[in-house]
Structure 1
């Protein structure tokens, strides 16, 4: 469906070789070079720099190739849906670890309720990987809590979720009516890995208070929320999580939230997808289902 020059660019970005691109597309190497030069002239944008023997894709070339890949994947899905409207479809989405605990299961149920999809795939990852999957077309959309470029993607906000400091009920900080960042840094900090939305939010929150994570007496990095909950219950430190992640433990009094001077931080949870997606109506409908009372 796409101009063959764009398809050639996409393969060239993947192979970074005129020879391998020609072999994969069953055309000559001069034909590959000619198509790329023609595209550059038409767009008036430099896509490739070649200084023998090194071929480099420019940032503009990388961005255009990512866009072509998204369009190609979406076009294939649209054609399949049009050709076989009665055939159940496949949907693949990414979700961050935190949201896999409480929102992703509800989202899967919303998709199941449509009875349109025989194959539903949910991939748990971090925010940056989820956005990259959208860019590459390997994920239809993502359920994330991390920050993202809102000019680059379309999105639907599900809700604002409290992002809270948490300790065990018998932790020394639990007895204080209000805690300062100086109080917090005296104890080990249990936090998520680099690339996770939760860690980025925590880092920004600390910076706003003129605090760095290095000021904590100890940092323990874990990419597993169940392990963080267990360490919290054992009094091993303080952590920052979404309230829903520890709702059960808070309800029975095993964990408590701490009150900071800045008050409660609310952060947006969102369904994010490629701009102008043909399937935007589906994503909007599922987001609306997640907004219903009780979810």
Structure 2
């Protein structure tokens, strides 16, 4: 366990206020200042910069705060486990919307078969929020489709999934032997919301072809893959999704996968968890079964 100065610094990094930190920890403001200065002196590192009225956390301070947060979350989980003789009783994980449709159900079945947990909680959200939940300890791990800092988290790739361009079978693009990104800009683009891993991947692919969202005739933002699927079926536009999300519609011919000139992109889907997690062996075992 870390001493109280680290906890004080963690709160200060979140509030960016000596006054609010003192109020939250029920100590005096001079005590907060003294603890931070003592910690900086011991570590011989500047953690914060204070120029009235603004306080900023240095890069070293940001790294330390993330570490303290991680240690605190893992310590709380360990203590909870020690207090429960019969073992771990509950688990909470996050999953992105796209993966909630075809991968999360398999994961729940895997956990159910391998454990005697009384509660399994699944939170459906976007990539950014899922990672924040891991940092804050409100989620044990997450099924992630988007990009993330691989130095900050531990992870296991559970699947490699094609990320494909899709239109209705009645679209004018059907029948073309090859489709470029420039061919798509006259079509309305159906895209996920900010924070979505699918959106980030789509934008990266477009930029690699020197195409920007502003180049499209129309951009329609929808925060639900099921709704995007319904819009595609109505020939509203073009979208990029994981093939498994529209597997049934592709199989029965209602939707059509575009033959992109750039080729099919294969993207890693990962089970992501806090670095050096006490429960890493469980997460790795479940990821392997997936």
Indicate the TM-score class for this superposition, using the shorter chain for normalisation.
Answer: over 0.9
> 2:172 aligns to what?
172
What does the per-residue CA deviation read over 1:49-105, in whole Å, with 9 as the maximum and x for residues that have no partner? 334444433343333223212211111111221332414422221111111111111
> 1:33 aligns to what?
33
> 2:268 aligns to what?
268
> 1:193 aligns to what?
193
> 1:9 aligns to what?
9
Query: What is the TM-score normalised by the length of structure 1?
Result: 0.92
> Helix, strand or coil: the match of 2:256?
strand
Tell me how far apart the structure 2 counterparts of residues 202 and 288 of structure 1 sit (CA, whole Å).
27
> 2:155 aligns to what?
155
Superposition map of 1:187-266 within 5 A? 187-266=187-266
> Helix, strand or coil: the match of 1:228?
helix
Contact kept? 2:170, 2:235, Cα under 8 Å: yes
- C-alpha distance 187-51 of structure 1, shift in aligned 2 (>3 A): closer
Q: Would you say 1:56 and 2:56 are equivalent positions?
A: yes
Superposition map of 1:7-156 within 5 A? 7-156=7-156
Q: May I ask how many residue pairs the two structures share in their alignment?
A: 290
Q: What are the ranges of 5 or more consecutive residues in structure 2 without an aligned counterpart?
A: none
- C-alpha distance 48-176 of structure 1, shift in aligned 2 (>3 A): same
Return the offset for 1:35.
1.1
Return the offset for 1:138.
2.3
Return the offset for 1:203.
1.0
Query: What is the RMSD computed on CA atoms of the aligned residues?
Result: 1.7
What does the per-residue CA deviation read over 1:207-264, in whole Å, with 9 as the maximum and x for residues that have no partner? 1122222222111111011111111001111110000000111111111101011221
> Helix, strand or coil: the match of 1:175?
coil
> Helix, strand or coil: the match of 1:174?
coil
What does the per-residue CA deviation read over 1:258-277, in whole Å, with 9 as the maximum and x for residues that have no partner? 10112211000001111111
Is the deviation greater in 121-130 or in 216-225?
Answer: 121-130
